[in-house]
Amino acid sequence: MPGDVICSGTVPRGCLLEHVDTPDVAKARWLEPGDVVSLRGFGGETRQTVVPGAPLVPLRSGF
Instruction: Judge whether 33 and 50 are in contact, CB under 8 Å.
Output: yes
Nearest residue to 48 via CA among 63, 62, 31, 60: 31
Q: How many CA atoms lie within 13 A of 21 on its CB side?
A: 3
pLDDT in tens, 39-52: 888 888 999 999 99
Contact 49/36 with Cβ under 8 angstroms?
yes
For residue range 6-44, list pLDDT tens digits in order: 766 666 666 666 656 666 666 667 788 999 988 888 888
Tell me if the pTM is above 0.75. no
SS3 label, residue 21? helix
